[in-house]
Amino acid sequence: MSDIQYYFYRRNEKLTILWLLIILIGCAAVAPPPGGPVDKTSPSLVSVEPLSGTTHISGGLSVLLVFSERLDETSLDKGINLLPVMKIPIELKIKKEMVTVKLPEDLALNQTYILTLTRDILDEHRNRLDRVYQLAFSTGDKISEGMISGRVYGSPEKSSLVYLYQSREEMADSLFLRQPDYATETDDEGHYSFSYLDPGEYLVIAFTGGRSPFPVVPSRMHYGVYWRSSVAIAVNDTTFNINMRIFKEVPLFKVLNIQMENRAQGLIRFTTPVSLSSQNMPILLFSSENEHEVIPDIIFQFISNSEEVRFQTSNLVPGNKYTIRVSNFRDSTDQELETISKEIQVPEMDSLKISIIFPEIGRTIKLTEGFTPINVQFDGITLSSTDSVVATLEDTGGIELPLILEWENPTHLVLTPGLGWDPDEEYRLNLFANRLFSRDSIHMADTVFTYPIKIRLDGGEGGISGKVLGEYFLGSIVEAKPIENSIISYSVVVNSKGEFVFKNLPAEDWILSAFQDSDKNGRYTPGRAIPFIPSEPFLMTQDTIEVRANWDVEGIELTYPDEE
């Protein structure tokens, strides 16, 4: 090799190494640094071609969608829908962040079609699409401009599906059994909107637990319907506040099962909640071929379970079979139970042991100052020695304090402090298990159950007053619920002027709502899908009202939403 050849060989070798280094550095720069923050940014739609609003389209049109992120391809089949629903599905082609949607060939004349992109669309990091997009295309010379929007309340999930059905000659009762004409999804606050609708009459339903475009199954889903039988849309009409409240359909009031828990105590489990205090002479009757009819010694409920009723009787013969007849019960929605009879067998050998099921052993009991009682629930009939103390109350210094004991029923003990609760003091409740026993004289474990007690300051009481306005104010009931405890609620009926007054509300933050009690049953009626029954009109507020001790908040106005 000559000197000149060697020179060019060495230069080329150095250039090759340099280019390799550049390529390696460039490749390394593409990768994100390891251990960086998790991508939580929602993908969004960046561009559409052809643009939404394009008219005179033909069958087989391809629409190019460009997103801000690379998408999870498996999420697109259920995240992109063409409305009204067609028998022939759309075709999708995916390439990174670009999706091509091919419409069916057989499109109707003068029809507006809506390409809906739902929040089921995910990016590669499983982030949901930032919102629902509706893109309109027409085979005619104009885009329909009808619109229906509203809000869904009470959903057990972050978002709900909303279906829209265009009324036809078929009965409304059968509409919900087919696929919807239009479908969308609410945002996380419950807002939804249908755009580009043709003139006509529409029925609307919101629900959770399903997947578009499959029909609604009312018996298994939480759903809500509107308070009018249909929503009318004229040409280019916009209708707001088509609001719905989601509920679980109340099942028929029936007995699920009847069983003996031991030879003297049994239970009846119902499909819906029951309150014994509101029953009018409920009937439980035991009968057999060779014995007289027997009625229970006592019927009772556990404070923690309203769907079960328990009974106990000392007049059943162990080992024998009986027919129990259950009748004259009503549930919390005033459904009447059809009389039912069932054969049961009484266990031959069984000791009637008892235990505490509420409060939990070792749990700290939290109460409000004053004379708030402590409820102790046993799982069976419980007796105590008349000459021994079954519970004591102590302060932090170990000094015993007065304690009043009352049996609400033979399974429910109520303990009330004789001097009241002081928020500056801590207490300890001692429950002596060996001084409590069953009817068979079976004692609880020979021990003392101790419960720490903490007292919070009672903020006092105040009031709220105001007026209900709007089309449905007459016959309205206003409900107040505290922010921190949605189980508690208070309700008042407005007067003929729509005025309402709440008195003696605990001092805390409250939310108000109202509904027109059209059927006059004293509670909100959510309507029904099949057979179709509209809900009662309602209004919901989002603003909290602070109630302070010895202070009335006046001049609150609650207004039913205007649909127009």
> What is the distance, to the nearest Å, from the Cα of residue 105 to the centroid of all Cα atoms in its chain?
42
Examine domains 255-345 and 356-456 and report if their fold is the same: yes
Residue that wins the pLDDT comparison between 388 and 541 = 541
Note the pLDDT of residue 7.
41
DSSP sequence for 75-91 = GHHHHEEEES--SSPPE
- Is the distance from CB of 357 to CB of 375 less than 8 angstroms? no
Determine the pLDDT at residue 170: 55
From the centroid of its chain, how far is CA 473? 27
Position 316, amino acid? L
- pLDDT value for 291: 76
Tokens 């109350």 identify what position?
Answer: 393
Query: At residue 30, does pLDDT exceed 50?
Result: no
> In the predicted model, what is the mean pLDDT of residues 9-25?
49
Give the CATH number of domain 461-559: 2.60.40.1120
Tell me the mean pLDDT in the region 45-64. Answer: 95
Q: What is the mean pLDDT of residues 289-295?
A: 83
pLDDT in tens, 385-439: 766 789 999 998 999 999 999 998 888 999 999 999 999 899 999 999 888 887 7
265-270 and 412-417 as β-strands: parallel, antiparallel, unpaired? unpaired
pLDDT of 9 reads 46
CB atoms within 10 A of CB 17: 10
Express each pLDDT in 475-500 by its tens digit: 999 999 999 876 789 999 999 999 99
Quote the DSSP letter at residue 364: P
Secondary element (H or E) of residue 428: strand 427-432
Nearest CA-CA partner of 88 in 113, 65, 110, 66: 113
| pLDDT confidence bin for 179, thresholds 50/70/90 | confident
The reported pLDDT for the residue numbered 32 is: 47
Which of these, 298, 296, 208, lies nearest to 247 by C-alpha position? Answer: 208
* Nearest partner of 71 among 102, 104, 93, 48, judged by Cα: 93
Q: For the residues of 225-268, what is the DSSP string, one character each? A: E-SSS-EEE-TT-EE----EE-EEPPPP--EEEEEESSSSEEEE
CATH architecture of 255-345: Sandwich (2.60)
**What's residue 564's pLDDT?**
65
Count of alpha carbons within 13 Å of 25, Cβ hemisphere only? 6
As a whole number of angstroms, the distance between CA 249 and CA 207 comes to 11
CATH class label, 45-248: mainly beta
CA atoms within 13 A on the CB side of 185: 27
With cut-offs at 50, 70 and 90, classify the pLDDT of residue 174.
Answer: low
Contacts of 239 by beta carbon, 8 Å cutoff, 6+ apart: 147, 148, 149, 231, 232, 233, 563, 564
Are 173 and 530 spatial neighbours (Cβ–Cβ below 8 Å)?
Answer: yes
Tens of pLDDT, residue by residue over 95-109, are: 989 999 999 999 999
> Residue 462 pLDDT more than 60?
yes
**CATH architecture of residue range(s) 356-456:** Sandwich (2.60)
* Nearest-10 Cα torsion for 19, 22, 23, 29: 180
pTM of the model: 0.75
Residue indicated by tokens 């162990």: 318
Sketch the domain layout of the chain as residue ranges: 45-248, 255-345, 356-456, 461-559
